[in-house]
Each structure stands twice: as structure tokens, then as C-alpha cells.
Amino acid sequence: MGILDLFNRFDINSGVKESNNTPSAVILDVRTRQEYAQGHIPGSKNIPLQELEQVQNVLRDKSIPIYTYCYSGARSRQAESLLKSLGFVNVKNIGGISSYRGEVER
């Protein structure tokens, strides 16, 4: 985490609300499968950061809105960069579930 990250905080709660109001948006949890199983944002998809290059097998439309999150926001920031390098054009890091105030699914 760099010094600029201190000034660039993400609000996962606003991000989830925005994604819910965006047609065809995908909320992408990039934590491990074990972390995902312990609790995740309802309706989110899980592709761990280490397997993210396989996203093209799941999401074929590279213009689809993708909202990434993890535990703290660090992995989701990496995921945002990787997805953009793979050609996805509408990607937004919404931060970490540690700040999420909504209900979670298990």
C-alpha cells in the first residue's frame, strides 16, 4: 500500500449500491475460496486473485461493469489492474469487505 492509498479510500458500501443499480454489473470477490466461504457479499462471484486470468472463461464481454473487492482493498486493486491489462474496460475497485456494513452470505 502506497502513500497515495491513504488519500484514495474506497467505500465498499457505496460501491455495492452502485453495482446493484448498474445493469449487468458483476461484483467480483478476489479472495481465496476459503475466505469467500466464510462470508461474502450476496450475489458476488468468486475468482481468487491467483486464478484471475481465467476470468475470460467466465466473463466474455469485456465491457461489462466489474466491481472488485477483497478483504482490505489491496488484492482488489491488483485485480483491477490485471483485469484492465486483459482488456476489460469498465472495472472499479470498491475496496475491502472488512468495511462492509451489509448482510453477508455463507
- Domain residue ranges of the chain, discontinuous segments joined by +: 3-99
End-to-end CA distance of the chain: 29
**CA torsion angle for 26, 57, 63, 67 (degrees, to 10)?**
30
pLDDT in tens, 11-58: 999 999 999 999 999 999 999 999 999 999 999 999 999 999 999 999
Let me know: does 83 contact 58? Beta carbons within 8 Å: no
pLDDT in tens, 81-91: 999 999 999 99
Homologous superfamily of the 3-99 domain (CATH): Rhodanese-like domain (3.40.250.10)
Q: Which residues contact 4 (CB under 8 A, 6 or more apart)?
A: none
